[in-house]
Amino acid sequence: MKVLVSDALGDAGIQLFRETEGIDVDVKTGLTPQSLKETIGDYDALVIRSATRVTEEILAAGTKLKVVGRAGIGLDNVDIPAATKRGVVVMNTPTGNVVTTAEHAIAMMMALTRNIPQGTLSLKAGRWDKKKLQGREVFNKTLGVVGFGKIGSIVADRAKGLRMQVVVYDPFVAPEQIEKSGFESVTLDELYRRSDYISIHVPKLKETTGLLNKAAFEKMKDGVMIMNCARGGIVHENDLQAAIQSGKVAGAALDVFEIEPPGACRLFELDRIICTPHLGASTQEAQANVAVAVARQIIDYLVNGTIVNAVNVPSVTGDLLRKIGPYMAVGDRMGCLQAQLAGGPVRAVTIEYTGDFKGMDMAPVSTAILKGLLTPMVKHAVNFVNAPVVASEMGIKIIESTTSEAEDYTHLITLRVTTDAGENLVAGTIIGRSDLKVVKINNFRLELVPEGHILLIFNQDRPGAIGGIGTTLGRHNINIGRMYVGQEKDGDLNIIFLQTDTPVPPDVLDDLRSAEMISSVTSLEL
């Protein structure tokens, strides 16, 4: 079996491949997309980091391809749905570089605070800017950590060792879980108001893109310092520039950028910006860790069929996967839908299997549900292997039950998710052999195909309401693919699910919300 390594990988990983009988490895870095397309058809496995883009076109050309392994955590450069459709396993190494990235954030904070880069440059230029480059202590200052995942929690712990006061915001982690770790859980606005330093450790999602923008900076303490070693685009770069020029923000340390490499960037003109070229995971130890981890995972899969840290395939036998695969798929989509309906940290998840599930091991389905629920919250840090562990770490209580008493459907999966804001119910089933359907959302009955760009609309059950929605979307050249309408039991509201060919922009959502008979509009991605 042949393995292609298309990005720089630590020697320890390459050596593992070479020492494994039956595995031939080729290292070809710097391939153009066209060259990779022409080459990939000869290989069973592809090892990447962040440079190689594994598109649907590349996957189509990889006729022998069985697995893509990422030496690192982020998978923004892999078309995971396309890989899943083609039966290609996608793996990452989610723990190999968390300490390194956390340490880099602390290093950036200290360098920013004590003007270390500026001092180095001034000395090399023949100046002695001792008074000009006076810094400050971090002792007893308040660090606001946005995101309490593996990296954010390590940053908080290291900051506590520096005798800083640490406050944490994470809408998906129960406050008592944060407090149990020895930190104070606060709202995002309170974090902005109290923090002397703010360090970002959230994935880049639709909800977090531009999270630190003009409105956020206005809520912050004068003289705050910002560190971003997570993903570019979470900090709005133009708004950050304005905040530094106005004096609101005293300085920023950036390891990531909206465009990478950023080329000519106006932020670089500011003395109070220090930056590194995405070095968060770049230490000898981290690169060795992820290289060895990805090599072991791919070898184990190619030689033994064992799947570790896959983001799109569970660790089950082929026979069981054929039986329960459709239920795993609908469970994953139900979880993803619940994540976007949730109004706060998830406290409890109740999974009910009703009907003829006799003889089926439903544990992988429950894992798929948890993965679908948690992925929008923590993105690449969750997979089919660790989803139950991640849920436990977030303080989520899991309850499962099975009953053979079927009612409307031969097989029905009901998912109840409890948050601080209340409880939401989503039920789903399989029609025929493999048609996925969501058949109930809270008190509404419907038959929704859970995929694509979806608008969830609550409107008054009056003539003209639905027509007005179609007119508004048509005016903005947005085509409706499917429409599902359900009625509130004993109520006066309709629930409408619209599947559109393209995502609906924020200004169009605002236009819909302003309509007289519309109660609410929520954009969902499934």
Catalytic residues: 231, 260, 278
Helix axes 284-304, 11-19, angle to 10 degrees: 20
For residue 37, the 8-state DSSP code is H
Burial class (CB in 10 A: 0-12, 13-18, 19+), 301: buried
Decide if 483 contacts 501 (C-beta within 8 A).
Answer: no
Helices (H), 125-227: 150-161, 175-180, 188-194, 214-219
The Cα–Cα gap between 20 and 29 comes to: 21
For residue 503, the 8-state DSSP code is P
Decide if 422 contacts 348 (C-beta within 8 A).
Answer: no
The Cα–Cα gap between 461 and 477 comes to: 25
Q: Residues 320-329: contacts with CB within 8 Å, 24+ apart?
A: 320/361, 320/364, 321/364, 323/360, 324/360, 324/361, 324/362, 324/364, 324/365, 326/430, 326/433, 326/434, 326/436, 327/362, 327/365, 327/411, 327/413, 327/430, 328/364, 328/365, 328/368, 329/368, 329/436
The Cα–Cα gap between 252 and 226 comes to: 5
